[in-house]
Amino acid sequence: MDVFSVANDSRIITFIKVAFFDLGGTLVGNKRDWIPGAKDTLTKMLQKGIRLGLISNTKNLSRPEILEILPKDFNMSLFENELVIFSSEVHIEKPNPEIFKLAIMRAGVKPSQCLFCTEELPHILVAKQQGMQTALLQAPPKSDIEKLIERLTAEGLLPKKKGGTLMTKALGYVAIFALILTLGSTLLTIWLQLEPKKELFDLTKALLSWQVIAGGLAVGGGKTFQKEIKELVGRIAK
């Protein structure tokens, strides 16, 4: 598979937001079967927050007739309705540039944030001319669609790592908060002319304890923790 950069041969990398796929030979075979790795690739794309669409030449077939020749477990709901572009419905066939312009318009993002995947080189070249990111796949039975995400990530078209979970970020903030408290207590100790009070260390210890996390996650725990801190602060102020 060859992954092309944005139009005008620019090496400025933009993460893709929308991925359009051809149907026959790209996602599905001619026996109502999936191309190996295609189904899993679609799932992973969705998990990465990529919107999915289809651009396919479907002759004179109606939507029900198209669905009849797809795998029984082909889930059309994976694709946004507006991003499903069948030539029999829009009366434009690939490689006519207009079908790719229509796809970009419906996606509502920059052309460079749209990806088109197929095993058809002429279609790839036209999509590229419209400013789309493109991925040329190997034709069956040597399809390499299962490596698509890996290649896109290597090319910088997909982020290498998705942002951390809410809990991971929260723990990061707690660590920063703990560091600030540690530095603050050290400076305060110096300010007190090197005469640290036991209560000060009790306060620091309490703030650095697991109750910092528990207090932020449970209302009851948070109130108890706040009460303990107020008592310690009151003792220090005396």
Return per-residue pLDDT of the chain as tens, 238 residues: 555 444 434 455 689 999 999 999 999 999 999 999 999 999 999 999 999 999 999 999 999 999 999 999 999 999 999 999 999 999 999 999 999 999 999 999 999 999 999 999 999 999 999 999 999 999 999 999 999 999 999 999 998 865 544 555 666 666 677 667 766 666 666 555 555 556 555 655 555 554 544 445 444 445 555 566 556 555 655 5
Q: What is the three-class DSSP state of 30?
A: coil
Residues written for the chain:
238
Q: State CA 172 to chain mean position distance.
A: 21
Whole-number CA gyration radius for the chain: 28
Other CB atoms closer than 10 Å to residue 180's CB: what's the count?
A: 11
Model pTM greater than 0.85? Answer: no
CA atoms within 13 A on the CB side of 127: 32
AA letter at 190: I
pLDDT, residue 207, reads: 52
Q: Look at residues 78, 72, 75 and name the one whose alpha carbon lies nearest to residue 32.
A: 72
Q: Is 221 exposed, middle or buried (0-12, 13-18, 19+ CB in 10 A)?
A: middle
Q: What is the dihedral of CA 85, 91, 95, 99, to 10 degrees?
A: -50
Using CA atoms, how far residue 22 sits from 52, 53, 95, 115, in Å, is 11, 9, 12, 11
pLDDT, residue 6, reads: 40
**Rounded distance between C-alpha atoms, residue 136 and residue 57, angstroms:** 17
pLDDT, residue 39, reads: 97
**Rounded distance between C-alpha atoms, residue 106 and residue 203, angstroms:** 58
**Rounded distance between C-alpha atoms, residue 22 and residue 127, angstroms:** 12
CB of 126 closer than 8 Å to CB of 133: no
Q: Look at residues 28, 22, 144 and name the one whose alpha carbon lies nearest to residue 95.
A: 22
**Rounded distance between C-alpha atoms, residue 183 and residue 200, angstroms:** 13
**Rounded distance between C-alpha atoms, residue 59 and residue 69, angstroms:** 13
